Chains A and B, each alone.
Chain A
């Protein structure tokens, strides 16, 4: 995975697969370069014994093969920046995944195309309620499918034209709130 937004898309699809009706995605960036991504759903949740080994690459719900790499790769990515991954889950209630990254760390992948990831998530699961909020020291990008559904009525959120609108709408907000946390931007003038 070359971008954090791809991890986000991948992990949120687990919520879809778990039958979630509501998914909340929040990204919070602080002044010190720490990024916290939280994905919370009301899907079927996991039993404690499955939860204990869910970031093991040889644990998966797939029936076609015996490896599942989404969560192990995300944990590896978070930890190699000095961050962490934690998952709370209750069977029949839902799951919350929290991942922390130090964006200024050399090994931290770029955020990537967040609007594209969120728009595709909505397009792929048009009946699910999704709230998205990305806060940075400069501003905020936010979207709620409930609000869009109020306007669209019986028009599906999966329609290509609606997808394009969501992508553009979020891109404008993300551009306003974007913070350059790349190691190059931070260390400029400090490195010989």
Chain B
């Protein structure tokens, strides 16, 4: 059973990571569109896949957040990746099984997964 005691242990662990993160200027942001269009197209499992994969890999320099409609409803689910010093990359028509490749190749190894980008879809 999950208990609130477990949450306390998470807090202690996270505190140590926060101290490291404050000095980290390489914070990467992943933003997933979660408006009606995104949710209906399957953004929830995509968002969950990002959080699960980042948690599994213990990546402390990545922030995942949600936003409203990004503006291309026909290409939902959509996620934008912001790496400091690099151009924003927009991934479209995402499915949860595509997420581990984006995390590994783009967020960890800084190599854009071209096949999943808006440029490849349009």
Contact = CB atoms under 8 A, between A and B. Distances in A.
A123 B34 CA distance: 12
Given A159-B14, A160-B54, A148 B7 contact: yes
A127 interface: no
A62 B65 contact: no
A1 B39 CA distance: 8
Contacts of A93: none
B36 A69 contact: yes
Interface string B53-85: 011000000011110110100000000000000
A68 B40 CA distance: 13
Interface residues of B, number: 32
Contact of B2 (A147, A152, A172): A172
Interface of A: 1, 6, 9-10, 13, 17, 62, 64, 68-70, 73, 113, 116-117, 120, 123-124, 147-148, 151-155, 158-165, 167-169, 172
14 contacts: A6-B39, A10-B39, A62-B69, A64-B71, A73-B36, A116-B45, A120-B44, A120-B48, A123-B66, A155-B11, A160-B51, A160-B55, A164-B51, A165-B2
Interface of B: 1-2, 4, 6-8, 10-11, 13-15, 18, 34-36, 39-40, 44-45, 47-48, 51-52, 54-55, 63-66, 68-69, 71
